[in-house]
Homo-oligomer: A and B are copies of this chain.
Amino acid sequence: MNANEFSHLDAQSNPAMVDVAHKEVSLREAIAESRIVLPKEVVLLFKNQDILVKKGSVFNTAIIAGVMAVKKTSELIPLCHGLLIDNCQINIKLENEEAVITCKVTSFGKTGVEMEALTGVSVAALTIYDMCKSFSHAMVIKNTRLLSKTGGKSDFHG
């Protein structure tokens, strides 16, 4: 693959999978992050001790949605290879008015897992949106990005 070319377009510019038949298997890891700005009422509720269980339920639901989406990544992203996930850990914490979601994915295979990690944080963020939207629709999901990627031809640290 030439770094100046779209890996997912063939010579006629048609969409195409990357051929990994002859790539080595290695342990791949990727970590992605996304942030969602929560409605003020929700931030207040979550900071209140009494709401621990509610925050728990909202964040638990988002974590599960994220993990299930990680496993569905190749169904969602058209040219993404299917792979076997060895590990997926999603964490969500409150930073001021934002819920910060990180997703670490590990797989022993021929392709990177950055799309899986990015899909995991995206769907977890959408699930938080869904669960908090009775308070306000003015939430923004911002800065969905890759934090790191290791185990492939070249590492990435964002």
Contact = CB atoms under 8 A, between A and B. Distances in A.
A96 interface: no
A57 B156 CA distance: 26
Given A68-B75, A114-B137, A142-B143, 12 more contacts: A6-B54, A8-B130, A9-B58, A20-B87, A61-B78, A64-B65, A64-B79, A68-B68, A71-B75, A77-B130, A83-B84, A118-B141
Interface in A47-70: 53-54, 56-61, 63-65, 67-69
Interface residues of A, number: 88
Given A84-B84, A118-B129, A137-B114, A144 B144 contact: yes
30 contacts: A3-B134, A4-B41, A6-B132, A7-B131, A7-B134, A9-B131, A13-B54, A14-B91, A16-B67, A16-B88, A16-B90, A19-B87, A19-B106, A20-B86, A34-B141, A56-B60, A57-B60, A61-B64, A64-B65, A65-B76, A67-B79, A71-B75, A71-B82, A76-B126, A84-B109, A122-B126, A137-B146, A138-B145, A138-B146, A141-B144
Contact of A53 (B3, B8, B56): B56
Nearest to A89: B16
